[in-house]
């Protein structure tokens, strides 16, 4: 099963310095040799996601 790990503390909006969601999906696609059907079954683990929320 393909997977990739991203750090939520480095996520930014597209166009700003840092990692954006498109880069995370790109990394997953690379690990799947650009097989979209395989990537659709992949897992994206976003570490430290709880640090981005102050209240729920």
In sequence order, what are the residues at sequence separation of 6 or more whose Cβ sits closer than 8 angstroms to the Cβ of residue 46? 5, 6, 7, 8, 11, 24
pLDDT digits (tens, 9 = 90+) for 35-49: 999 999 999 999 988
pLDDT (0 to 100) of residue 10: 81
d(CA 21, CA 6): 9
pLDDT at 55 over 60: no
Instruction: Please state the pTM of the whole predicted model.
Output: 0.73
Q: How many residues does the chain have?
A: 56
- Residue appearing with tokens 């990394």: 27
Residue 13: per-residue pLDDT? 65
What would the pLDDT profile of 14-38 be if each residue is shown by its tens digit?
666 667 888 899 999 999 999 999 9
């Amino acid at each position: 099963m393909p997977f990739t790990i991203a750090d939520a503390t480095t996520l930014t909006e597209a166009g700003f310095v840092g990692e954006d969601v498109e880069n995370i999906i790109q990394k997953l696609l690379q690990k799947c040799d650009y097989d979209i059907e395989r990537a659709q079954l992949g897992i994206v683990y976003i570490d430290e996601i709880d640090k981005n929320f102050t209240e729920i």
